[in-house]
Structure formats: structure tokens, C-alpha cells
Amino acid sequence: MISKLYVGNLAYSVNDDSLRQHFAEFGDVSSAKVMMDRDTGRSKGFGFVEMGSVEAAQAAIRGMHGKSVDGRALVVNEARPREERPGGFGGGGGGRRSY
């Protein structure tokens, strides 16, 4: 079973490889991904790490939450499923009506 972790408050200098290395001391890392802004190409300051077991994920949370990496205290917790956001152009009116 794979356990996915949310990692927040990342320094802009952290990349996928360095994120993987930081978490590897707690067990097998299946994947590590820093989320990037598609317009600027710069880190959004958070990412996700998938650990190979629930035990490794719990150890990583205990060991990495609050730990300083490149001068930033990390926020590490279990990732929640992505919430569905309303798509399209929904929302308010605002157009003029002619009567």
C-alpha cells in the first residue's frame, strides 16, 4: 500500500530529487513531486511524496513535520483527496438586461 503525503512550505530551491532524498531516510519513496507554476516555471512551494508503506509515511510525518529544510520549516501531513471544484464559467450574472 502506498501512502501519499502533502509537503508544504517548501523553499523555491527544493526540487523533485532533493525532496526524494529528504524523505528516503524514512523508507522507500515511490515518487516525489514539487508542484510548479506552469506560467512562471517556479515552484508553488508545496509538493507530494508517496511512500512505499503506511509505516514509512507515518515515520516521515513524525520526522519531517517542522524540520527546517533550506531555512523553511516543513508542513507534512497525509494528503487529502483533491476536492472537486466547479468548472466552467459558473457564478454570478452581472450582464445588463434590456426590458
Lowest model confidence (mean pLDDT) among 3-17, 21-35, 58-72, 85-99: 85-99
Domain assignment of residue 98, yes or no = no
Domain assignment of residue 88, yes or no = no
C-alpha grid cell, residue 80:
487529502
Domain of 28, in residue numbers: 3-78
CA 52/CA 27 separation, integer angstroms: 7
Predicted pLDDT at 79? 94
Predicted pLDDT at 85? 73
Domain assignment of residue 60, yes or no = yes
Q: Is the pLDDT of residue 67 over 80?
A: yes
DSSP for 35-89, written as a single string: EE-TTT--EEEEEEEEESSHHHHHHHHHHHTT-EETTEE-EEEEPPPPPP---TT
Q: Are 27 and 62 in contact (CB under 8 A)?
A: no
Share of the chain above pLDDT 70, in %: 85
Q: How many domains does the chain have?
A: 1
Q: Are 23 and 67 in contact (CB under 8 A)?
A: no
Domain assignment of residue 96, yes or no = no
Domain assignment of residue 86, yes or no = no
Domain assignment of residue 83, yes or no = no
CATH number of the domain residue 52 falls in: 3.30.70.330
Average pLDDT over residues 7-15: 96
Average pLDDT over residues 16-39: 97
